[in-house]
Structure 1
Amino acid sequence: MRRKLFSYGAFLLAFAMIAAACGDSEPAAPPETVIVTETSIVTETSVVTSVVTETVVAENPLAGTSVTVFGPESSDTEAGAFQAALDLFAAANDMSISYTGARDFSDQINVQVAGGNPPDIGILPQPGKLADFARNGDLVALPDDVTELVQSTTPEGLWSLGNVDGAQYGIPTKADLKSLVWYRPADFAAKGYTVPESWDELNTLTDTMIANGDTPWCVGIDSGGGATGWPFTDWTEDLMLRFYGGDVYDQWVMGPNNGGIGFSDDRVVAVFDAIRNLWDKPAGTYAAGGTIATTLFGDNGPPLQDGTCMMHRQANFFASFFPAETVYGPDGVDVFYFPPVTADIQPVLGGGVFPVAFQDRPEVLAVMEYMATADYANARQRLQKLANGGGADTVSGFLSPHLEADQSLWTPLEQSFLSILAKAELFRFDGSDNMPTPVNAEFWRSATAFVNGDIDAATATANIDANWP
C-alpha cells in the first residue's frame, strides 16, 4: 500500500487561492511544519531537558510535477469543466494537469498504448477496453487506500466494472442514464400528443406525427471520429433489454464463443431491423448533416429546441449540447423514459467513464485519488453548470455516481436521473462498451454501413461476429 501523499484539506485551499486571485487579499502562505526536538541530559543529581522548536516550510511532494489526461469528452462545456475541476487540485498542490479531449479518443488511445506513449491518465468509457488494457499489463492498479475509497463511495454495480481479476484499476467518476427521450412538452400539448408508455405506443406516435406533418425524430450517429456509429449501438442495447430482458442481454454481451449468443442470433437481427424501420419511415427523421451517418449526434439539440423535430433519444449528457439559455422542465426541454415493451419490465440502460492510470508515478496516483473524491464530483458539477449558463435550474449534463456528492448541486430533473439509476430493478451497463475492443469497433463500423443502406442486417451482424475472440 502506498503512503498518502497529500491531504484533501488542500483542496479547500484551491478555492481560497482562486478567490484571492480575483480579489485584493494576499495569496495564501506556504504550508509550515513545526518540528520539536527534545534532548535530556541525566547527571548524578538532576535531569536537564532542553526543548528546541523550529518552524520550517513543509515539502510538497507534488510541487512542480505535471500530469497528462486524455479522454473522449471534447465539447467546450464538458472538456472545459473537467479541466477546470483538475485545475483546482493543481493550484492547491503547485502542479500542472492538462486534459485533452478528442472525439476519436477510442482510436487514438489504442494507437498510443500500442506505440508505448499513452497519457498518464486515460478516461475510458468502455469497461471491455479497460479489461483488455489491464490484462495486457498496460495499467497501474490503484493503491489499497484508493481502492477502499472507490469501493466505499460508489455503487458496486459501477466500481466492479473497473475491477479486473480482483484488482481495482478504474474509478467510476461519471454515470450516464441512456434510456431517455428528449422532447418539448409544450409542443406535445399544442399538437395533442401524449407521452408513450410502450414501444407500440412510441411507434404509433411516430406515425401520427408524420401524418400531422411533424418530423418525429432527430437522429445522428456521427461522433466526429472512429467511434461513429455508437448512437446506433445505444438504441440496439436499449431494445435488446426491452424486447428480451436481462438474461438474453447478458448472453449477448458474453458472446458466442463464451457460452452466449452472437449478433447473428435472430433476436439481434430483429432489433437491427426494428431500428432502421423506425428511422426509415418517410418524413420520419431529420438529420442536420444531410444523412444520419454524417450528422453529429450533438447537433440535434437546436432542431429539437426549435421544433424541427419532436423527439431525440439520447443520454442525460445531451444537455451539454443545448444552447446555454435553454430552459428545462415542463416549460422548456424535458425528457421521458424510453418506453418498455410491457409495463412489467422497466429496464434502464446506463454508461459512464473510468479514469485509469497508465503511469506509476506519485503525482499520477494523487490525481487519480482526487478524482475518486466527492470534492472532485462537486467541483465538476459546479463548473459544468456554470459553463451551461450558471442558473439555479441549469442542467449540466454531468451525473456523478459518488454516494457522498452534494445532491443539492443537481437540479430536480438531474436528481430524477440519479434516482432512476439508483432504483432501477433491471439495470445494465452499455453492452457494446463491455464487449472486447475489436467487437465494439466493428459494431460501430457495420452499424454505420447498415444505417447507410450499404449492407443488410444479416451482413452487418455476421461482420461483427467475426471479431469475437
Structure 2
Amino acid sequence: MRRTSSTTNRNRRTVKAAAGLLAGALALSLTACGGDDDKSDTNGSTPTTGSGSALSLPKLDGTSLEVAAVWTGPEQANFKKVLAEFEKRTGAKVTFVPAQDPIINFLGSKIAGGQPPDVAMLPQPGAIKQAVDKKWATPLGDAALAELKKNYSQGWQDIGAVNGKPYGVYYKAANKSLVWYNAQVFENAGASEPKTWDELLTTAQTVYDSGVTPFSIPGADGWPLTDWFENVYLSQAGPEKYDQLAKHEIKWTDPSVKQALTTLAQVWGKKDYVAGGADGALQTQFPNSVTQVFTGGDQPKAAMVYEGDFVQVNIGQTDAKIGTDAKVFPFPKVGSAAPVVSGGDAAVILKDSEGAQALATFLASPDAAEIQAKLGGYLSPNKNVDLAAYPNDVQRKIAQSLVAAGDDFRFDMSDQAPQAFGGTPGKGEWKDLQDFLKNPTDVAGIQKKLESDAAAAYGN
C-alpha cells in the first residue's frame, strides 16, 4: 500500500494560511520578473556551490553505488551532474539506473534478482511505506539524519518517515498548482491571467476567439490528469474533504467528487478547448504537451499547459525564455481559496553501506540541491538552499514560496493512494480519468468506476 497512517495524519495539516501565502506570493510576483529571464541551462558543466566545505563526506575510493529513478531526459542529465559532484568529493563511482514507472514494481524485480540499487528515488510517501513493509529500506544513519533535521521543516521530515522513523530524504519537490502560458498568444488575444475558474474559462474563450486552441493536455499520461482533479477538488471541496478522500474515508461517489468532475468537464468537455480534442490529448505525452505550447511562435498548437514548476525543464527544450515568452500563473481558485498541491521524490537507502549513507547525507544537504537548482527545472524543499542558485526570478519565487509554507502543505492525493489506484499506468485513477477525458459527460459512471477501483486498492 502506498500510504502510511502514522505519518499521513501529520502531513495532512490544514493549509488555508499556507495556500493563501503561496498563491498570494505567486500571483504578485511570478510574471513580474523582467530583469532575470535567463533560460535554464541544461547543458552546462556542473556548477560549483558556495557551501561545499561545510559538508563532511567520507573518502570512498573503490566504492561503487547504483541510484535508481524514473527520471529521463534533462531531468536525468541534471541529476547525473549532482552525482558527479558526489563522485568528485568522495572518490566513489555512482551509476544511474533508469527505472520504469511504477518504480516500486521495478525495484521488486531487481530485488528478486538479487541486484537492488543502493539508493532509489521514490516519488510517493506510500512507496516509502511499501519499501519499509517489505523490509527493503534502511533507516537514515546519524549523519544523514543530522543533515535532514538541519535543512528540512518537520513536515518534510515526517512524509519521509514510517512509524516515526526517518527513511526518506525529499531531495526534489514540486509545486503542482501552476499554469504556464505563451505570453505572445495572450498579448495578441488581449487575454489576462485569471484568478478564478470562471475567469479561466473567459480567458480560454478569448484565446480561442483569437485563433489559438486554449489548452494542451497530456492525456497519454494519467498522472497529470490526477493533478488537474486534485487542484479543482482541493479548492472547491476544501482541505478537510481532500484529506478524507485521500484516505478513502469518503467515497468517490460523494457529491463533492461529482461537483469537481463536472467542473473539470467545463474544460475537458469542450473539444475546441483541447489541442487535438480528446483523441489528440490521449495521444499526447507530458513533454510534448509542454513543448507544443512554446513552439511555433504566436501560433502554437495550444496557449496554456497546466503542470508544476518542473515544466521549465521542457520549456528549456524550446526557444522560449522563461519570464518573457513563457509565463506562469497560480492555478485559479475554484472555491474560496486557490489550491496548492505539492509532490516530491525521496532518496531511500535499499543497501545499507557507508557509501549509500554518505550519498543520502549529500542529497540532504544544500550542496547537492544547489547544483541542480542552477541547472533549472528543479525545486528543493531544503530550507537552506541559497535562492540565488535558481536560474531565474520565476523559479526563485516558486522556491521561496515553498520554503515559506513550512509544514503547511497538501501532498499530491494520488501519491498518497495505494499504488494500484493512484500510481499505475493503465489502471485505477489514471485510467479512469483518461476515460473521463474521452467522455466527460459520464460523471456518474466515472464516479462508480473510481470508487470500485479505490475500494479494491484500499481494501475497504
* TM-score scaled by length of structure 2: 0.79
SS of residue paired to 1:449: helix
| Deviation of 1:450 (Å) | 3.0
Given that 1:188 and 1:194 are in contact with CA atoms closer than 8 Å, whether structure 2 keeps it comes out as: yes
Partner in structure 2 of residue 433 of structure 1: 415
Q: 1:340 pairs with 324, 333, 339, which one?
A: 333
State the one-letter code of the partner of 1:467. A
How many angstroms apart in 1 are the aligned matches of 2:421 and 2:67? 26
State the one-letter code of the partner of 1:362. E
Partner in structure 2 of residue 22 of structure 1: none
| Deviation of 1:116 (Å) | 5.2
How many angstroms apart in 2 are the aligned matches of 1:356 and 1:327? 35
CA separation of 1:412/1:320 partners in 2, compared to 1, >3 Å: closer, same or farther?
same
| Deviation of 1:130 (Å) | 0.9
How many angstroms apart in 2 are the aligned matches of 1:125 and 1:156? 19
How many angstroms apart in 1 are the aligned matches of 2:414 and 2:108? 17
Given that 2:269 and 2:439 are in contact with CA atoms closer than 8 Å, whether structure 1 keeps it comes out as: no
Larger strand percent: 1
Cα deviation per residue 1:136-190 (whole Å; 9 max; x = unaligned)?
3210000133213202211222221101111100001111111100012332122
**Of 206-215 and 409-418, the range deviating more from structure 2:** 206-215
Partner in structure 2 of residue 449 of structure 1: 435
SS of residue paired to 1:316: coil
Partner in structure 2 of residue 279 of structure 1: 268
Aligned residues: 388
Given that 1:196 and 1:205 are in contact with CA atoms closer than 8 Å, whether structure 2 keeps it comes out as: yes
Partner in structure 1 of residue 40 of structure 2: none
| Deviation of 1:401 (Å) | 1.6
How many angstroms apart in 1 are the aligned matches of 2:280 and 2:107? 28
Given that 1:74 and 1:103 are in contact with CA atoms closer than 8 Å, whether structure 2 keeps it comes out as: no
Partner in structure 2 of residue 419 of structure 1: 400
**Of 232-241 and 110-119, the range deviating more from structure 2:** 110-119
Q: After superposition, where does 1:204-283 map in structure 2 within 5 Å?
A: 204-222=202-220, 228-255=221-248, 260-283=249-272
State the one-letter code of the partner of 1:84. K
Higher relative contact order (CA 8 A, sep 6+): 2
CA separation of 1:287/1:122 partners in 2, compared to 1, >3 Å: closer, same or farther?
farther
Partner in structure 1 of residue 90 of structure 2: 93
CA separation of 1:451/1:111 partners in 2, compared to 1, >3 Å: closer, same or farther?
farther
Partner in structure 1 of residue 371 of structure 2: 379
Larger radius of gyration: 1
**Of 264-273 and 122-131, the range deviating more from structure 2:** 264-273
State the one-letter code of the partner of 1:375. D
Partner in structure 2 of residue 399 of structure 1: 379
SS of residue paired to 1:291: helix
Given that 2:291 and 2:318 are in contact with CA atoms closer than 8 Å, whether structure 1 keeps it comes out as: no
How many angstroms apart in 2 are the aligned matches of 1:452 and 1:103? 26
Cα deviation per residue 1:107-148 (whole Å; 9 max; x = unaligned)?
423443465543211101111111121123210000133213
How many angstroms apart in 2 are the aligned matches of 1:282 and 1:437? 31
SS of residue paired to 1:91: helix
Given that 1:123 and 1:354 are in contact with CA atoms closer than 8 Å, whether structure 2 keeps it comes out as: yes
CA separation of 1:230/1:146 partners in 2, compared to 1, >3 Å: closer, same or farther?
same
State the one-letter code of the partner of 1:430. D
Say yes or no: does 1:463 pair with 2:444: no
Partner in structure 1 of residue 5 of structure 2: none
Q: 1:199 pairs with 197, 212, 217, which one?
A: 197
* TM-score scaled by length of structure 1: 0.77
SS of residue paired to 2:61: coil
Give unmatched runs, 5+ long, in structure 1. Answer: 1-17, 20-59, 223-227, 386-395
How many angstroms apart in 2 are the aligned matches of 1:433 and 1:348? 15
| Deviation of 1:265 (Å) | 1.9
CA separation of 1:110/1:210 partners in 2, compared to 1, >3 Å: closer, same or farther?
farther
CA separation of 1:237/1:98 partners in 2, compared to 1, >3 Å: closer, same or farther?
same
Q: 1:327 pairs with 301, 318, 321, which one?
A: 321
Given that 1:446 and 1:463 are in contact with CA atoms closer than 8 Å, whether structure 2 keeps it comes out as: no
Partner in structure 2 of residue 349 of structure 1: 341
How many angstroms apart in 2 are the aligned matches of 1:288 and 1:84? 39
How many angstroms apart in 1 are the aligned matches of 2:195 and 2:86? 45
Q: After superposition, where does 1:40-79 map in structure 2 within 5 Å?
A: 62-75=60-73, 77-79=74-76
How many angstroms apart in 1 are the aligned matches of 2:254 and 2:114? 38
How many angstroms apart in 2 are the aligned matches of 1:289 and 1:362? 51
Partner in structure 1 of residue 307 of structure 2: 314
How many angstroms apart in 2 are the aligned matches of 1:424 and 1:340? 18
| Deviation of 1:103 (Å) | 5.3
How many angstroms apart in 2 are the aligned matches of 1:339 and 1:289? 23
How many angstroms apart in 2 are the aligned matches of 1:147 and 1:340? 38
How many angstroms apart in 2 are the aligned matches of 1:85 and 1:403? 18
CA separation of 1:157/1:287 partners in 2, compared to 1, >3 Å: closer, same or farther?
farther
How many angstroms apart in 2 are the aligned matches of 1:88 and 1:448? 41
SS of residue paired to 1:286: coil
State the one-letter code of the partner of 2:418. P
Given that 1:348 and 1:424 are in contact with CA atoms closer than 8 Å, whether structure 2 keeps it comes out as: no
How many angstroms apart in 2 are the aligned matches of 1:417 and 1:82? 20
Partner in structure 2 of residue 8 of structure 1: none
Give unmatched runs, 5+ long, in structure 2. Answer: 1-45, 48-57
Cα deviation per residue 1:61-105 (whole Å; 9 max; x = unaligned)?
521111111112111x11011111101211332221011234535
CA separation of 1:231/1:434 partners in 2, compared to 1, >3 Å: closer, same or farther?
same
How many angstroms apart in 2 are the aligned matches of 1:349 and 1:244? 14
How many angstroms apart in 2 are the aligned matches of 1:103 and 1:180? 26
Structure 1 stretches of at least 4 aligned residues deviating more than 6 Å after TM superposition: none
